[in-house]
Amino acid sequence: MAWRNVIITQHAKLSYSSNMMQVQTSKGITQIPLSDIALLLVESTQVVITSQLISKLAEQGCKVIFVDNKYNPITETVNYYAPKCNYQNLLAQLHWDKTLKQRLWTKVVWLKMNNQLNVLKNYHLPTEKVEQEINKLEFNDVSNREAVVAREYFQELFGKSFVRQDEGDTINAALNYGYSILLSSFNRRIVQNGYETYLGIHHSSIANQFNLASDLMEPFRPFVDYWVAGQKLKDFTPDVRYGLVELLSLQIKYNGKATLLANAIDLFTKECLGYLSSDVDKVESVMDFVNEVPNHAIVDNV
């Protein structure tokens, strides 16, 4: 099973050789087994990557993410066809029951808000307003409690002057970067399970080819918030970006058992897809924090 998150941070040539990714820099050549790589983040615009390597990584189901000059993830590789994709899966997805989708969205929103509440509790911040809004959640979140809670939550977590849309702010840059890593991870799991990322249960933008991943990732956003709030961020440095990628290795509780965030993403995706396809009766997932703010140093940067 792929487990390594590899970041390329300097001028390099990436190529394929005998089931290995070959990384050539001014310091020499490093080889990494393709089967180990879950995510390849190309964090320099001075990297050359061969088409053969991209093809082989796609065969392995590895996500390759490219960034812009400001280090924001700007594009990623998406396979034309999932390894398990077939007509039956696509047909089932096109005809997912509306009520099932709305029930799942209600669960997703509740999980997200509950995790936001737990973030505030972990940092000993006021929770009364958020708890009040969570108790007002209705079926399919028709009153949009998600947005109301988000407004209260971010101001409690990052201060009353915090504005989520301020793209020039270091905290927002870190949040957006972390969310992009989450989105890519969910895309990978959805495709691996044989489904299309375009067809969501709530998000439905024609400009968003990742609507389903945008839906399913919502309960996991607070784990990014949790990490960012635990750092003293002055600038959006490489160490911050490494830490956000390594967040996939954060230990959390999933249905009462300790696991890595990446594993929880896999389990949650499978359970949601199984529910929508009527393979399971309900989504019982519950996730929680281990009382530790991570500060991992990545070991796979080049």
| Residue list for the binding site for Mn(2+) | 146, 203, 218
Residues annotated in the binding site, as ranges? 146, 203, 218
Q: How large is the C-alpha radius of gyration of the chain?
A: 19
* Distance in angstroms (rounded) separating the CA atoms of residues 155 and 255: 29
Return the amino acid letter for 89: N
CA–CA distance, 205 with 173 (Å, rounded to integer): 23
Token representation of residue 107: 């669960």
Q: Report the run of H or E that residue 117 belongs to, with start and end.
A: helix 98-122
Kind of pairing between the strands at 47-49 and 37-42: unpaired
**Lateral strand order in the sheet of 251-254:** 257-260, 251-254, 287-289
**In whole angstroms, what is the distance from residue 279 CA to residue 128 CA?**
38
Q: What is the dihedral of CA 139, 140, 143, 146, to 10 degrees?
A: 110
Rounded CA-CA distance 273/201 in Å is 11
DSSP 36: G
